[in-house]
């Protein structure tokens, strides 16, 4: 693996919240910690004079002192391994539907407040559910603190998100991932997770340290440049999602990323907090003053709100995956919301059925597709090599 990218570190426990908030976006701050990782386990902290903006330039940063106990993180990875090590027929009991996807296994746990989640049996995996529930709550609490820093960084009141009710109904879901390792070297697939951006507000990612994550900071550059992002033990890799990018009128960046097919087995755990009310809050005028052209009509437009209330799963797909998706859409009756960029403005999203998709013009490099499966699905796929790719879709 080539030298890993230097990403900014945000310290959630720093008493100087204003400086920390500034480091989320302000340019030319002095004495901010950077980390340089050339190999995963070789950590070298370095102070640099110029701080590149965490959210504005990279859309990715490390979060340290976040209050999620290392022991709990270790337990989550152990329990994830326990789950994926169950016999395939046990895992299939939680599957509802076939799904073709990247060559990895995944398990989604939706918001804890609804009772739609499926859990492995307590007798099969003792304490599994309680471990995941505790992790869910702890990460959500770190996310809430981070959001207050984000508010400060946008020159908003620290409790802005709280006041507007964005935290009243926080929907966060956990994704447990297992990449099986490159057992089949003849495979043409180079990705364990294909290039995408995340659709939520911020994503909290923890990995087991096996390399593979890469980001592309200039998605429109040709050829695309992919840079490795290494893990730091105990630190979250946090990235900005599309929802936040849109809400800040593209001030913050939702960066394209992917995971290369790892040579050895790789585990990762993600939490995506999705703040529904957030989608109804318009971009603050302060941000619009900086970039007066409003790039999005509404947050996601009315349609997105309909989507959110329609008990469906959602995912934003970058353009280069659209064609792949179209092939899939015809098979699986996926509905898509298509937004096409016209003269650097996004048109209002349109809801189209899988049948209509073939007729949509997708010649813009910046088109994005929000695809919806028919709610509450657990998808499963058995690949030729016997690995299982599963997910329980987001329950909203
Ligand atoms: O496994 C990882 O390191 C990241 C996966 C990812 O980006 C995703 O599933 O959204
Ligand atoms: Fe992602």
Encode pLDDT of 249-260 as tens digits: 777 888 888 898
pLDDT digits 0-9 by tens, 283-342: 666 665 555 554 444 333 333 433 333 333 334 444 444 445 444 443 333 344 444 333
Distance 203 CA to ligand 2 centre (A): 8
Q: Which atom of ligand 1 is nearest to the CA of 192?
A: 1
User: Do 35 and 7 form a contact (C-beta atoms < 8 A)?
Assistant: yes
Cis peptide before 223 (omega within 30 of 0): yes
Mean pLDDT along residues 175-190: 72
Q: Which atom of ligand 1 is nearest to the CA of 212?
A: 3
Hunting for tokens 């992919």 — which residue is that? 226
The reply to whether ligand 1 has any atom less than 6 angstroms from the CB of 257 is: yes
Show the tokens assigned to 341.
Answer: 């960029």
Residue 106 burial (10 A CB sphere; 0-12, 13-18, 19+): buried
Distance 258 CA to ligand 1 centre (A): 7
pTM for the full predicted model: 0.71
Written in H, E and C, the secondary structure of 190-226 is CEEEEEECCCCCEEEEEECCCCCEEEECCCCCCCCCC
**Coil, helix or strand at residue 386:** coil
Show the tokens assigned to 321.
Answer: 């995956």
Helix residue spans in 154-196 (DSSP H): 160-163
User: Do 255 and 162 form a contact (C-beta atoms < 8 A)?
Assistant: no
Give the ipTM.
0.99
Mutual angle of helices 128-153 and 70-84, in 10-degree steps: 130
The reply to whether ligand 1 has any atom less than 6 angstroms from the CB of 238 is: no
C-alpha triplet 169, 195, 232: angle, nearest 5°? 70
pLDDT digits 0-9 by tens, 68-79: 999 999 999 999
Q: Which atom of ligand 1 is nearest to the CA of 239?
A: 7
CB within 5 A of ion ligand 2: which residues? 198
Phi/psi for 393 (5° steps) reads -75, 160
Q: Which of 60, 174, 213, 393 to mutate to test the pocket of ligand 1 (most atoms within 8 A of CB)?
A: 213
* Of 31-40, 102-111, 233-242, 244-253, minimum mean pLDDT range: 31-40
**Residues in CB range of 28: below 8 A, 6 or more apart:** 50, 51
Q: Which residues pair with 24 in a beta bridge?
A: none
Q: Which residues pair with 389 in a beta bridge?
A: 381
**Coil, helix or strand at residue 333:** coil
The reply to whether ligand 1 has any atom less than 6 angstroms from the CB of 339 is: no
Give the ligand whose atoms come closest to the C-alpha of residue 269: 1
Nearest CA to ligand 1 atom 9: 193
């Amino acid at each position: 693996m080539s030298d890993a990218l230097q990403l900014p570190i945000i310290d959630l426990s720093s008493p100087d919240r204003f400086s920390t908030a500034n480091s989320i976006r302000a340019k030319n701050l002095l004495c901010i910690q950077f980390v340089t990782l050339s190999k995963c386990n070789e950590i070298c902290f370095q102070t640099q004079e110029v701080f590149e903006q965490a959210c504005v330039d990279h859309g990715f940063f490390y979060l340290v002192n976040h209050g999620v106990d290392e022991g709990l993180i270790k337990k989550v990875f152990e329990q994830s391994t326990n789950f994926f090590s169950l016999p395939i027929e046990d895992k299939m009991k939680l599957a509802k539907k076939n799904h073709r996807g990247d060559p990895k296994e995944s398990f989604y746990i939706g918001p804890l407040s609804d009772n739609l989640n499926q859990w492995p049996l307590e007798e099969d995996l003792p304490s599994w559910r309680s471990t995941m529930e505790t992790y869910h709550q702890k990460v959500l609490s770190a996310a809430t603190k981070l959001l207050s820093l984000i508010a400060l960084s946008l020159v908003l009141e620290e409790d802005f998100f709280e006041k507007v009710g964005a935290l009243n109904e926080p929907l966060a879901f956990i994704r447990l991932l297992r990449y099986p390792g490159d057992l089949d070297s003849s495979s043409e697939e180079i990705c364990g997770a294909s290039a995408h951006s995340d659709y939520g507000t911020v994503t909290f990612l923890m990995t087991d340290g096996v390399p593979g994550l890469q980001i592309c900071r200039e998605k429109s550059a040709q050829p695309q440049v992919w840079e490795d992002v290494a893990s730091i033990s105990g630190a979250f890799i946090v990235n900005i999602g599309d929802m936040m990018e849109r809400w800040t009128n593209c001030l913050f960046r939702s960066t394209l990323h992917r995971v290369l097919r790892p040579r050895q087995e790789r585990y990762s755990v993600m939490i995506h907090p999705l703040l529904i009310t957030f989608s109804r809050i318009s971009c603050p005028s302060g941000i619009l003053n900086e970039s007066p052209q409003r790039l999005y009509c509404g947050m996601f437009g009315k349609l997105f709100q309909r989507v959110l209330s329609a008990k469906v799963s959602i995912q934003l797909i970058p353009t280069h995956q659209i064609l792949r998706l179209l092939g899939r859409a015809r098979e699986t009756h996926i509905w898509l919301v298509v937004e096409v960029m016209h003269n650097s403005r996004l048109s209002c999203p349109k809801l189209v059925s899988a049948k209509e998709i073939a007729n949509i013009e997708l010649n813009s490099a910046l088109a994005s597709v929000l695809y919806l499966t028919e709610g509450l699905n657990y998808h499963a796929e058995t690949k030729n090599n016997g690995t299982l790719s599963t997910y329980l879709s987001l329950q909203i």
